[in-house]
Amino acid sequence: CTRGREVTGREHLGRRAGGEAVFAGEFGGAATDLDWGRELLAYFDALGMGWTAWSWRGHSHLQHRGEATEFGELVRERLQEES
């Protein structure tokens, strides 16, 4: 808590990224998480953070049977923008 209020993960992450190297080592999601994924990637960009997408919660959220899922396509498109 900070001054009587809860510090969110984003606030904590933002403070850390302001003065230290911060790398998001795991995130991913289902097709229903695309808006969240876009928002998260924009947040990482705003902080100048590095990231890698990886998610395994019983099954991969980035590919299925060798084909990219919708979230996997979001990640692929984002990586292509960076290159």
Which stretches of the chain score pLDDT less than 50? 1-5, 7
pTM: 0.74
Q: Give residue 38's pLDDT.
A: 92
Output the six-digit token pair for 53.
């997408």
CA distance 5 to 68: 40
Q: Locate tokens 């904590």: which residue?
A: 12
Q: Give residue 57's pLDDT.
A: 60
User: Beta-carbon neighbour count of residue 4 at 10 Å?
Assistant: 5
